[in-house]
């Protein structure tokens, strides 16, 4: 990582979560006048786990969509210490494991492989995810966040997906793997790597507020992707590029496999 960029990122001063929550408040105010017929007036409660080395976009994409869906968003961490994202920008938790509401409409876990592995090995994190996941209406993840759900025992017997380079770890923890971009199985919703978070956000927005509301959010965000390259999936990228990515990340992928195996051994069958 560019150390100069990281220093600039960290010197922004105001923690990112405050800016994101201001976005949520602004979005809610703008939508209120146009959304009288868009769904129930009660705001859905969203608990979004955050942890060091998580991928910023895994959080920011879904959070932006859910802000426009007029949600009550809680950024949850073990304690109130600032959380460092993958790009060095700091996020301030708004609540802790102990303080987080117990009756969440949505539990959400983002990814970020190094941070994900640490979360999979952390008893307090897994206890929180397991507890809220057992009670939440919807249990969800983006990218490698599915591995945390799996380590907490929440994907056993469910279809699920994750980032393409760790999907094969899901069956170790009892999930049935799928290569779809967003997978819905009963009240579990898992999405693929990073950019799939916006697709996931629109799916959950439609569930919470209705299809028409979600379509309006998509238009508001001008979400009409046309990437410059056709290499966004293993099948499109081809074996040479896939092999290159896997070789570059071999060490951390091996660590993820160990964490998944350890989690499976800890969980009751």
Kindly report, residue by residue over 194-245, the tens digit of the pLDDT.
999 999 999 999 999 999 999 999 999 999 999 999 999 999 999 999 999 9
Nearest to residue 73, comparing CAs of 55, 98, 100, 53?
100
The DSSP secondary-structure symbol of 116 reads: H
Going from the N-terminus, what domains does the chain have, and what CATH number goes with each? 3-266 (3.40.50.880)
- Contact status, residue 160 vs residue 177, Cβ threshold 8 Å: yes
pLDDT in tens, the chain (269 residues): 443 334 344 334 345 555 555 554 454 444 444 444 444 448 999 999 999 999 999 999 999 999 999 999 999 999 999 999 999 999 999 999 999 999 999 999 999 999 999 999 999 999 999 999 999 999 999 999 999 999 999 999 999 999 999 999 999 999 999 999 999 999 999 999 999 999 999 999 999 999 999 999 999 999 999 999 999 999 999 999 999 999 999 999 999 999 999 999 987 65
Q: What angle do CA 220, 39, 212 make, to 5 degrees?
A: 40
Kindly report, residue by residue over 38-50, the tens digit of the pLDDT.
444 489 999 999 9
Instruction: Output the pTM of the full model.
Output: 0.86
Q: Which residues are catalytic, by number?
A: 143
């Amino acid at each position: 990582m560019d150390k100069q960029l990281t220093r600039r990122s960290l010197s922004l001063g105001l923690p990112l979560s405050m800016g994101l929550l201001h976005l949520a408040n602004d979005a809610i105010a703008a939508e209120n006048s146009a959304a009288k017929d868009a769904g129930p007036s009660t705001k859905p409660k969203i608990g979004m786990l955050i942890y060091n080395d998580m991928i910023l976009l895994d959080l920011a994409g879904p959070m932006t969509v859910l802000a426009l869906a007029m949600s009550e968003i809680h950024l949850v961490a073990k304690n109130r210490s600032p959380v460092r994202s993958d790009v060095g920008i700091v996020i301030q938790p708004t609540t802790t494991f102990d303080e987080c509401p117990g009756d969440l409409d949505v539990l959400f876990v983002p990814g970020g492989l190094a941070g994900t592995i640490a979360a999979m090995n952390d008893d307090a994190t897994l206890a929180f995810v397991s507890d809220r996941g057992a009670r939440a209406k919807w249990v969800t993840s983006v990218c490698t966040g599915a591995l945390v759900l799996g380590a907490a025992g929440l994907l056993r017997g469910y279809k699920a997906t994750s980032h393409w380079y760790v999907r094969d770890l899901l069956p170790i923890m009892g999930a049935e793997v799928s290569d779809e971009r967003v997978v819905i199985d009963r009240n579990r919703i898992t999405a693929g790597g990073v950019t799939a978070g916006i697709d996931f956000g629109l799916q959950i927005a439609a569930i919470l507020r209705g299809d028409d509301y979600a379509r309006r959010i998509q238009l508001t965000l001008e979400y009409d992707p046309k990437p410059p390259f056709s290499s966004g999936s293993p099948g499109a990228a081809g074996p040479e590029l896939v092999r290159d990515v896997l070789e570059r990340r071999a060490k951390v992928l091996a660590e993820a496999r160990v964490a998944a195996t350890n989690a499976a051994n800890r969980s009751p069958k």
